[in-house]
Structure 1
Amino acid sequence: MVIDLDKCTGCQACTTACDMENDTLPGESWQDVLYYTEGEYPSGQMKWLPRPCMQCEDPSCVHVCPTRATYKDHDAGGIVFIDWDKCIGCKYCMIACPYGVRFFADEKPLVEPDLKEVFAGSGGQLWDPPGQSPDTDYRRGIGVQPKGVVSKCTFCYHRVKEAPEGVPDLDEDDPELVDYVPACVRTCPPKARFFGDLDNPASNVNKLIGNKNGIRLKDHTGNRPQVYYLGAGAGIPAFQPKS
């Protein structure tokens, strides 16, 4: 995934689209947009940074999981999943993740009323939201979460997996591919997000990263994220280690 910070307006359409697509509870945002001030008050400038799961090449969350519930699936394009049948809710992965993109859904709700009570789930299901997605795959952490597990972004794998094989990019402007595009990418009004095959030299994401000097967030951790940011002057330096 490539995110162009020069185009992003911080509108949070990606956050809303992700919540609706993945049946997450209010406050459990897999597609956060972080707001911060660069510079001192009152002359400081407000900026923002979209922050999905980085789907790291060498994810620290995988290394610390005692039950191997968190794993990297190379057959699924290297996406990091959580097997809810194995997850014991120990939260080690949440501590190990340097990006803060994992959630324990049993936490006290950030808003009232508590929708877990309004739309009470059954059979161990955390809640029973109206209009929920029919896609469920507990082995990959897709669907309405059961109780006592950690959840995270999956790059909308339930959509992406249906895409034709060998397609270099999933572009919402292509009517033949629009149904396979991750919800956050499809919904972005300024078209600041791109999704494709980095290993394919003909892909748009590959060219964008090369031509616009794409960089990765907190690359010094060694996790090697698969999310790249363009437009470094729009705010990324504030999140990088000082030399």
Structure 2
Amino acid sequence: MAKYGMVINLEKCAGCAACSIACKNENNVPDGIFWSHYITETVGEFPNVTYNYISTLCNHCDDAPCVNACPLNPKAMYKSDNGITMHNHEACIGCRACEKACPYSVISFNETEPFGEWRSGDAAELTKKVGGDIIPYSNPDREITYAGIRSAKKVEKCTFCDHRVANGEKPYCVDSCPANARTFGDLDDPNSEISKLLSNNKATVLLPNANTKPNVYYINKFDVKE
């Protein structure tokens, strides 16, 4: 069984946010929520100023605090055999324990019914015409393994596009990156591209002192800060 992870090459990353846009399109992510996001920071004093753009997403940690914090049995937030940290939307009780436990702030909570603008007023008629309760432009492929559109009072997060991975494809953020800054693959395969990148480069992770054993790594032009 593969163990999946991702390497983000910050030297190649152009900060275009194509990954964030692609993720929203692929996973029907509602307004105000980002499964794929970023951190921006300005470091130094004029004229020696550096602008950093750091892409972020669920780190799919081996020792995932979100899984440990979930009070359910079986857990709504859980680890798949392939290393992906998954979420059972139907089982989730919306207690937000996982969200509070995540040190990376990459788990979001739907306070209200997502895409409410498509369910009221003139837009409601359009919604009915294109698919009943399904919003226009939604991606039905997302529903293969997970709720296509999550409901109110539930959490949601990046799943490495598990529906695509199950079909032998890469996460959509990887395929959509115009700079090829993201590499996805099997960490347990020494011959995989991602394993070779990690062998040949000094890799860092976000918040190393959190001791979560994340499976998203950064190479090049990245100074670890706590």
TM-score range, shorter chain: 0.7 to 0.9
Deviation, structure 1 residue 141 = 4.0
Instruction: Decide whether the 8 Å contact of 2:27 with 2:142 is kept in 1.
Output: no
Instruction: Decide whether the 8 Å contact of 1:32 with 1:50 is kept in 2.
Output: yes
Tell me the alpha carbon deviations over residues 37-91 of structure 1, each in whole angstroms, 9 at most, x when there is no partner: 11236643221100011000110000111122111111xx111111111111111
* Higher RCO (C-alpha 8 Å, min separation 6): 2
- Name the residue aligned to 2:137: 131
TM-score between the two structures when normalised by the length of structure 2:
0.85
- Name the residue aligned to 1:170: none
Root-mean-square deviation (CA), in Å? 2.2
Q: Classify the secondary structure of the residue corresponding to 1:39.
A: strand
Amino acid at match of 2:9: D
Residue 198 of structure 2 corresponds to residue 209 of structure 1: yes
Report the identity percentage: 38
**Is the alpha carbon distance of 1:236 and 1:128 closer, same or farther for their aligned partners in structure 2, counting shifts above 3 Å?**
farther
- Name the residue aligned to 1:61: 66
CA distance in 2, matches of 1:90, 1:72: 19
Instruction: Decide whether the 8 Å contact of 1:3 with 1:194 is kept in 2.
Output: yes
Deviation, structure 1 residue 142 = 4.2
Residue 225 of structure 2 corresponds to residue 219 of structure 1: no
CA distance in 2, matches of 1:40, 1:151: 38
- Name the residue aligned to 2:219: 230
| 9-18 vs 77-86, which moves further | 77-86
CA distance in 2, matches of 1:130, 1:117: 11
Amino acid at match of 1:71: Y
Instruction: Decide whether the 8 Å contact of 1:156 with 1:183 is kept in 2.
Output: yes
Amino acid at match of 1:216: V
Q: Classify the secondary structure of the residue corresponding to 1:190.
A: coil
Tell me the alpha carbon deviations over residues 73-111 of structure 1, each in whole angstroms, 9 at most, x when there is no partner: 11xx11111111111111111111011101102269xxx
**Gapped regions of structure 2 (runs ≥ 5):** 1-5, 128-132
Deviation, structure 1 residue 203 = 0.5
Instruction: Decide whether the 8 Å contact of 2:62 with 2:213 is kept in 1.
Output: yes
- Name the residue aligned to 1:38: 43
Deviation, structure 1 residue 129 = 2.2
CA distance in 2, matches of 1:130, 1:182: 22
- Counterparts of 1:1-243 in structure 2, within 5 Å, are 1-40=6-45, 43-67=48-72, 68-74=75-81, 77-106=82-111, 115-119=115-119, 128-137=134-143, 141-163=146-168, 180-231=169-220, 234-237=221-224, 239=225, 241=226
Q: Classify the secondary structure of the residue corresponding to 2:194.
A: helix
Amino acid at match of 2:186: D
Instruction: Decide whether the 8 Å contact of 1:36 with 1:47 is kept in 2.
Output: yes
**Gapped regions of structure 1 (runs ≥ 5):** 109-113, 164-179
Deviation, structure 1 residue 224 = 0.4
Q: Classify the secondary structure of the residue corresponding to 2:218.
A: strand
Instruction: Decide whether the 8 Å contact of 2:112 with 2:152 is kept in 1.
Output: no
Deviation, structure 1 residue 221 = 1.1
Q: Which contiguous aligned blocks of 4+ residues in structure 1 show a shift greater than 6 angstroms?
A: none
